[in-house]
Amino acid sequence: MIAARADIVANVWKIVVREGDPVNAGDELAVLESMKMEIPVIAPSGGYVVRIPVDEGQIVQEGDVVVEIDGTPGV
């Protein structure tokens, strides 16, 4: 299991993927809003989205998991 984490305290502005989606390393998974900046959450490696433990509009702290990925890269 690979976790894509928030690297800054932020508001979850947009979640771009849904559970079950295949993703590649480098894909944008969500966009956080902090300090009036749109800060992308990027897939650290490829696989499938297995869990999205946050909702849009929720506050996340630095280090919180935004999207969990599992499985083999790409499809």
Partner 1 sequence: MTQLDLAALDATAHRASLTQRRRQRNARVEPRGAREHTARERVEMLVDAGSFVEIAPLRTADGQGTGVVTGWGLVEGRGVVVIAHDAAVASGAIGAVFADAVVKAQRLGIDRGFPIVYLNDSGGARVPDGVFALHGCGEIFTQNVLAQRRVPQISVILGPCAGAAAYSPALTDWTIMVKGHGHMFLTGPDIVKAATGEDATADEIGGSQLHTVKSGVAHLEVPDEAAALAETRRLLSFLPSHAGAPMPFTEPVGPAPEAADALPFVVPEKASVVFDMNRVLDGVLDEGERFELMPQHARSVLTVLGRLDGRPVGIIANQPGARGGILDSAASVKAARFVEFCSRFGLPVLTFVDVPGFLPGTVEEGRGVITHGAKLLKAYIESSAPVLTVVVRKAYGGAYIAMGAKSLGADFQWAWSNAEIAVMGPGGAVTLLHRRALAAADDPIALRDELAAEYREEVARPYIAAESGIVDDVIVPEETRGRLSDALRMLTAGQG
Of 16-24, 38-46, 47-55, 65-73, which segment contacts partner 1 by CB under 8 A?
38-46
Secondary structure, 3-state, the chain: CEEEECCCCEEEEEECCCCCCEECCCCEEEEEEECCEEEEEECCCCEEEEECCCCCCCEECCCCEEEEEECCCCC
Find the shortest distance in angstroms from Cβ 7 to partner 1. 6
Of 18-26, 32-40, 47-55, 65-73, which segment contacts partner 1 by CB under 8 A?
32-40
Residue 7 binds partner 1, judged by CB under 8 A: yes
Q: In the complex, which residues of this chain contact partner 1 (CB under 8 A)? A: 7-9, 34-40, 61-62
